[in-house]
Amino acid sequence: MKGYAVLAPGEHGWLEREKPAAGPMDAVVRPIAVAPCSSDTHTMHMGSTTGSPVILGHEAVAEVVEVGALVRGFRPGDIVVVPCVTPDWEAPALQQRGANNAHDYASMASFKYLTQKDGVFAEFFHVNNADANLVLLPKDVSVDAALMTVDMMSTGFYGAEMADIQLGDTVVVFGIGPVGLMAVAGARLRGAGRIIGIGTRPNCAELAREYGATDIVSYKDGDVVQQILELEGGKVDRAILAGGDASTLNQALSVVKSNGVVSNVTFLDPTDTYHIPAPLWGLGMSDISICGGFCPGGAYRIQKMLRLIQNGRVAPEKMLNYQYDGFDKIPEAFVAMDQKPRDLIKPVVHIQW
């Protein structure tokens, strides 16, 4: 079978692979829609963590082709939503936490595509623990909307959940790319009174307003911290980091009140370093919680995201403004994601077999 892969750091192209096989609890599926993501382009630039070529892609809606002998909930022909994070649910680390947690003992260990095995830009791909990780596509949810639950919605909403937003809070969302847009939508659903989105792209700003942003602040109009403080007439309750680098944390700490929360869902460059001047964190006495976390995965999480779509709470498919048709268009969509033309929010490739 064919897959679109990172071949070496900075090099990408088609690759021939053996078709994967399903273990007793697993499934093999073929994608019917995939969305390239900045995690794919980062992996392409840095090279795979295994050091060998790895098929890219981790966001997919797919058709089941094969299931293992112990899989009860799915059979070939089913259309399924595949979380980008697929925990091994029998792992002791998950049992200890007793919750739907994305992490194994190591940070991001339940994120298997790209890092531990081939991804979804392939004619076929493998899904571990099919019963606990896959969700049947509901009849009243479009493929595009479902595709946006597996990473963008789960990640962006996690930013709002970690921020522990209270009714009426003022929330600042740094970055209004697709994850930030979903953080805005999540903040509104959690009852934020005011949502200030930080970004410059006009179509992202427009969509941010549609998802619930009450104000947009642009880096281009001057110091972001000053603008936020002036707009709010003081500090805000919560901040969500969905873009920027380690220094963006300092901007967030400059605008969040004591007892507030700063939550991070943006992936940092491994060479980046946090430098936090002590006064920014109230000399260690501010009671500002700083938390960061990775996209929660698994079937239960994705069912919750789908329920929000089914009941009209959010329409994440509006982010998919670059549409491609056909498996052979994956490279084009991937390059668009890498080069990020100014009007790109999120690309999608629809595939018919």
- Interface contacts to Zn ion, rule CB under 5 A: 37, 39, 151
For 321, residues 6+ apart whose C-beta sits below 8 A from its C-beta are 203, 343, 344, 345, 346
177 φ/ψ angles, rounded to the nearest 5 degrees: -75, -170
Taking the least distance from each CB to Zn ion, the nearer of 39 and 263 is 39
CB of 39 to Zn ion, least distance (A): 5
Minimum CB–partner distance for residue 37 and Zn ion (Å): 3
Beta pairing class for 215-217 and 194-198: parallel
The span from the CA of 135 to the CA of 79, in Å, is 9
Smallest distance from the beta carbon of 158 to Zn ion, in angstroms? 13
Instruction: Rank residues 120 and 290 by Cβ distance to Zn ion and give the closer one.
Output: 120
Looking at beta carbons only, is 39 or 227 nearer to Zn ion? Answer: 39
Is the CB of 65 or the CB of 176 nearer to Zn ion? 176
Q: Is 45 helix (H, G, I), strand (E, B) or coil?
A: helix
Query: For residue 323, which phi and psi values (nearest 5 degrees)?
Result: -110, 135
**Phi and psi (nearest 5°) for 324?**
-130, 150
CB of 154 to Zn ion, least distance (A): 10
Closest approach of Zn ion to the CB of residue 40, in Å: 7
Max Cα–Cα distance, the chain, nearest Å: 62
**Measured from the CB atom, is 111 or 327 closer to Zn ion?**
111
Least distance in angstroms from the C-beta of 2 to Zn ion: 21
Buried b (16+ CB within 10 A) or exposed e, 208-231: bbebbbbbbbeeeeeebbebbeeb
- Nearest residue to Zn ion by CB is 37
Of 71 and 147, which CB lies nearer to Zn ion in the complex structure? 147
CB 104 within 8 Å of CB 110: yes
